[in-house]
Amino acid sequence: MPRKPQAPRPPRAAAPKGLDVEPRDVGSRDVGPLEPEVFDPQAIDPLADLISPPRGAKSAAKAKSTIKSKSATKAKSAAQPPVKGGAKGAARPVPAAPVPPPRRNKAVANAAAAVHGKTVAAWSDEEIVEAFSRFEAQNPEPKGELDHTDPYTLLVAVVLSAQATDVGVNKATKGLFAAASTPAAMVALGEEQVAHYIRTLGLYKNKAKNVVELSRLLLERHHGEVPRDREALEALPGVGRKTANVVLNIAFGVPTIAVDTHLFRVANRTGLAPGATPLAVEEGLEARIPDRFKLHAHHWLILHGRYICKARAPECGRCLIADLCRWPEKNF
């Protein structure tokens, strides 16, 4: 069959004079794969803005800006909280989860409390009375948690409690006090046997040495009795200011305030009696706490620090004095 003659093609439209018409794929061919790093602005010659862009640069720049805008959109949507109901439903933002306060070990927590204590405003007299009235109403007769039967066994237990928990000390003293519960019996038991009974505690060899020696000195200087005197107590091996305060308070009812790791943290975190050292905190507490609360203040604060205002994660939601406390990282 004879072929049907084709209609002549219309001539191509000429480009308007003065305008560049680029081949469609020049850009991608010239710049290679459109990876963002190809267009790293840091890598671009700073003079590039001052000269004419090379052929293909327009497409490349367009591609770059598309990539940038896509990445920005992606990043933005990733940063936003998820929306319930998708794109069709009524978009309701889901509230972001609360950021938990930092968890710190005891030493770091106490150091942070001390730093805070340098800037915090100390409690007013009214706030102090309010706080201790609440402690008293909740627990009128607070007790220590070290097992003992008399001033001597209390003294030994407190000496053993350095860098140990009360629970750990009670486990160790159960056997020790069954074997020796008086200074004379402890000296007779001897350092090696004492060490054996308390071997689960840190520094047990040194503690055993101190317990036997303080027992010997009690016999030699105080007729086997625990003295009701700070200076005499602090002259015994292993007995420092804190131990003397605990013994004077619990065994003899002296209204002393022994500042241990818990009291130090609580006093600084709350603003009750900020201080850079345990002695500074003790002096602040002695000066500020009214006499009627002083006998039990040590126990209320130690129990508060041990069970509520804990080093790593204070339980501010259960705290009696949360409204008075000045700690900025409350954990509700």
The H or E element containing residue 92 is strand 92-93
Contact 166, 307 (CB under 8 A): no
Q: How far is the CB of 271 from ligand SF4 (least distance, A)?
A: 9
Tell me, letter by letter, the H, E, C secondary structure of 170-215: HHHHHHHHHHCCCHHHHHHHHHHHHHHHCCCCCCHHHHHHHHHHHH
Give phi and psi for 214, each to the nearest 5. -65, -35
Q: How far are the Cα atoms of 151, 196, 221, 281 from residue 225, in angstroms, in the given order? A: 8, 25, 9, 30
Instruction: Quote the least distance from Cβ 292 to ligand SF4, whole Å.
Output: 22
Residue with tokens 């619990």: 250
- Is 325 labelled as part of a ligand binding site? yes
Nearer to ligand SF4, 236 or 263 (CB): 263
Is 319 annotated as ligand-binding? yes
Cα angle 42, 46, 47 (rounded to 5 degrees) comes to 155
Catalytic machinery residues: 242, 260
Minimum CB distance to ligand SF4, residue 169 (Å): 25
Q: Which C-beta is closer to ligand SF4: that of 122 or that of 316?
A: 316
Nearer to ligand SF4, 187 or 309 (CB): 309
Residues that bind ligand SF4 (CB under 6 A): 269-270, 308-309, 314-316, 319, 321-322, 325, 327, 330
Report residue 146 as tokens.
């070290």
Q: Could you tell me the smallest distance in angstroms from the CB atom of residue 250 to ligand SF4?
A: 24
Q: Which of 156/257 has CB closer to ligand SF4?
A: 257
Give the whole-angstrom CA distance, residue 316 versus residue 119.
21
- As separate numbers, helices (DSSP H) first and strands (DSSP E) second, the chain gives 13, 2
Q: Which residues are annotated as a binding site?
A: 309, 316, 319, 325
Q: Which residues are annotated as a binding site for [4Fe-4S] cluster?
A: 309, 316, 319, 325
